[in-house]
Amino acid sequence: NKSGGLDASVRNKLLTETIAPWRSVRLFLYGALGSGAFLGGLITLSGVAAGLSGARSDLDLNVEYKNLAIDFGAVAAFAALAKLDFDKQDELNEKVEEKVERKKEQKKVAKRMQEREKRIAKLNLEIQISMDGEVKQAEIGQVQVGAKQHVIIVAGPSLACKEALIGANLLGMDFSMRNVLVVPYQTTKSKKSEREKPSGGFGDRPAFETKPYVAKPTGEGWDEYIEEEMADAVMQAGEKVKVDGIAIVVASNGKVIRRGVGTVPWRNMVEELEETINPGSKKEAVDYIFDP
C-alpha cells in the first residue's frame, strides 16, 4: 500500500468484525465443538458395532443409542449453525462494501467542504453600521480581516431562521462584545431580488432581524454555496435538514470550525469562537450534529 495505510483485505476483515463481532470465534467454536461431537460419535458407534457383533457384552445398547443420537445430533446442530453464518456471508460482504463506500463518500464530502471554505470570504454581506439603519456592503473576508469579526451563517426555511434569530437575540450583548455577525439565509425565499435590493429594507423587517449583529446575504454566489452545503448536510444527516436548517460557524481567521443541524446552541458557539482565537478560554464542550 503506497499510502502506508492498511491493506484492503485487512481493512475489510476489520470492518467485517465491527459489523458482525465474534463471527470468527463462533465459526471456530462450531468447528471445534462439532469435530469433538463427531469424534465422540465415532467412538460410540464403534462401541455399538462391537456390542451388536457380540464382541462386548458389557454395553447397554439403549444407552449407547442415546449417546449416539446426542453426538450426531450435536454435529448436525453445529453444522446447521455454521451454514447459517456462511449463508450470511454475501449479506455481510454487501454491508462491508456499503461501509467502505460510505467512508469514501465522507472523505469526498470533507474535501468539498474544505474547498467551499475558501469561497466564503468572497461572499457579500449587507451590514448595518448605524442605529438609524445605515448599511454598507462588504465581503466576508473583508470584515474578518478588517474588523476581526466571526460569522455564523444560519440557512433553512423561514421558520428555522426566525427561531435561530430569536435565540440569538437573547445573546445580543455577547455578539456585540465578541465581534460575531449572524447571517440568516432563507432557503424557502430564493428570489435574488429579495437579497439584492438596496436596503432601506432594515426598517421593514422584524426587530430581531434588525439587530446590529445581523447581516444580510447579498450578491452572487450565495445560492450556489448554500445549495451545496445543504446537499452535503442532507447526505450526512438526512432529509430533516431541509426543515431544521443548518448553521456554519466561521471564525475570523476564515476557518469553518463547526457545521451543525437544527437548533443552534448560541452560547456554546460564541464560547467556541472565543476558544479558537484565544486558546484555553473555553470552559465547556459543544455538542453539535456534524463536524467539518
Tens-digit pLDDT profile for residues 180-228: 899 999 998 644 444 444 444 444 566 777 788 899 999 999 999 999 9
Q: What is the pLDDT of residue 141?
A: 92
Q: How many CB atoms within 10 Å of residue 82?
A: 16
DSSP helix/strand/coil, 149: coil
Q: What is the pLDDT of residue 114?
A: 82
Three cell numbers at 280? 484555553
CA dist 282 and 263 (Å) reads 21
CB 187 within 8 Å of CB 230:
yes
Q: Are strands 180-186 and 216-218 parallel, antiparallel or unpaired?
A: unpaired
Residues 6+ apart with CB under 8 A from 49: none
This prediction has a pTM of 0.60
CA angle at 290 for the pair 288 and 292, rounded to the nearest 5°? 115
- Which regions in the chain score pLDDT beneath 70? 1-20, 172-174, 176-177, 189-206, 279-292
Q: Write down the H helix ranges in the chain.
A: 8-19, 23-53, 61-87, 89-120, 140-147, 158-169, 172-177, 192-196, 222-237, 241-244, 266-277
Q: What is the pLDDT of residue 167?
A: 86
Q: What is the pLDDT of residue 132?
A: 73
Q: How distant is the alpha carbon of residue 166 from its chain centre?
A: 27
Q: Are strands 150-156 and 135-139 parallel, antiparallel or unpaired?
A: unpaired
Task: Give the burial class of 188: count Cβ atoms within 10 A of its Cβ; 0-12 exposed, 13-18 middle, 19 or more buried.
Answer: exposed
Output the CA–CA distances (angstroms, integers) from residue 287 to 41, 139, 266, in the order listed.
59, 30, 12
